[in-house]
Amino acid sequence: MLFEYVRKNIKKKKKRILDKELVFHQLYPKQRYNDRLIRQLMHVLLQAAEDFLALQKYKGDEFIKQRYLAEIYDKRNLEKHFHQVIRNLEKQRDQQTVLDSQYYECSFRLEELKSIFLEKKKKRKQEPNLQQVTDTLDRYYIIYKLRMFCMMLNYQNLFQHEYQKNMQEEIFSHLETHSYEDVPAIQLYFPMLQSLLDIENEAYFEQFKQNLTKYEHQLSKSYRQELHGLARNYCIRQLNIGKKPYIRELFLLYQSALEQDILWGGDYLSPWTYINIVAVGLKLKEYDWIKQFMEDYKEVLPLQQQDASYTFCLARFHFHKEDYQEVISLLHQTEIDDVFINLSAKTILLKTYYELQEEDALHSLLDSFNMYVQRKKKQIAYHQNNYLQIIRYTRRLAHLNPFDKSANEKLKAQIKSERNLTEKEWLLMKLESS
């Protein structure tokens, strides 16, 4: 009864529709409210729901089902049935084209089943395939550890979080003498890890790119998503230290991810991924491709952020094309609720007023922009300093006497010394041309 009531009412928007007392009286209209009884019913229903979800997951994994079945047949000494299941499992494994850690975990579990069976039978003339067991376990373990090391380094670079990378040196030493050319995941995660550890040695990333072309079709979608994400972050780190050729590498990675449909895992494309692709393409002057991308992928953005993201990117597109009046028109006609998109839009508008030499509009925006940043400081956290610096340096640039070479050089030196200034390139370009 409780399940039927919940099923019928869970999507209704009425307040208190699932309130305990209300539900109890719907189920037992002639009884006095019993808190203990309703709690017991809720507990039983929750357990039943959890069992159902676990069973659905189990039913969807044919390998797990067959593996458990083999263990049951082995325990009951049903040798003929055991061997039939083992043959089925071997057939499933041999038909696999995706060779990630799950493949090697399944291979290890299969070899382990065979080994336990042989050991149990005490067949002296037949070795219990221990070599196959340890070989498949090694492959599974090494892949998984390489993945974890890559993810640790990625988060370490993003959030300055330190990790204990146990067994890293031992695995590196092992891989120096064991190539594992038949294991695609190792061929990709190892050079990726080397790239992240030694960003100055670009040969590692070149090796990763070659291997990506050669092996990525043999990996699952989730592994390809992960590797592409790691590669993009590597390119961004290179760009942050001034290696401009990596903007093309980043663009090619975005294009490849779009072609393979691995750029997002859920139902929607992240607005910031959409915005970043546009920004990268515009820096490379890939105007036709970017215009088509904006139109094609607008519909896969979250509905509530669709118009703001698209309009902002279109404004940025027109800014790069020097259609400044169109930029102003677009940004004035759209309400942008997302704080970070709004900050980026204000930055574009700031640069547009400067380019048009609209002094009154520029100074008015500088003042309102500064107030907005101060008002949103808790939401934007460490980004606050970047935007305050953009405002400060744009104001100084606007007031700069173009004939004062000393002041020009002093401002240029100060801007160059800033470590986290997203508009550094534009500010220096304006100084050079002033």
Q: Say what the pLDDT of residue 15 is.
A: 66
> Model confidence over 223-247: pLDDT tens digits?
999 999 999 999 999 998 889 999 9
Residue ranges of the chain whose pLDDT lies below 70: 13-15, 122-126
Distance, in Å, from the CA atom of 233 to the CA atom of 239, rounded to the nearest integer, reads 10
- Residue 98: left (phi > 0), alpha (psi -120 to 50), or beta? beta
260 assigned to some structural domain: no
388 assigned to some structural domain: yes
Range 170-195 burial, b when 16+ CB lie within 10 A, else e: ebeeebeeeebeebbbbbbbbbbbbb
Q: Say what the pLDDT of residue 60 is.
A: 86
Q: Give residue 408's domain range.
A: 357-434
> Model confidence over 23-79: pLDDT tens digits?
888 888 889 999 999 899 899 999 999 999 999 988 888 889 999 999 999 999 999
424 assigned to some structural domain: yes
CB 139 within 8 A of CB 104: yes
Q: Say what the pLDDT of residue 125 is.
A: 63
- Give me the phi and psi of 123, to 5 degrees please: -80, 105
- The residues, any chain, with a CB within 8 Å of residue 63's CB and separated by 6 or more, are 89, 92, 106, 109
- The residues, any chain, with a CB within 8 Å of residue 1's CB and separated by 6 or more, are 27
CB 407 within 8 A of CB 401: yes
Tokens representing 91 are 């057939």
330 assigned to some structural domain: no
Q: Say what the pLDDT of residue 336 is.
A: 87
Distance, in Å, from the CA atom of 348 to the CA atom of 119, rounded to the nearest integer, reads 71
198 assigned to some structural domain: no
CB 327 within 8 A of CB 348: yes
78 assigned to some structural domain: no
The number of distinct structural domains making up the chain is 1
Location of structure tokens 């915005």? 275
413 assigned to some structural domain: yes
Please give the distance of CA 257 from its chain centroid, rounded to a whole number: 12
Measuring CA to CA, which residue among 343, 339, 346 is closest to residue 319? 346
377 assigned to some structural domain: yes
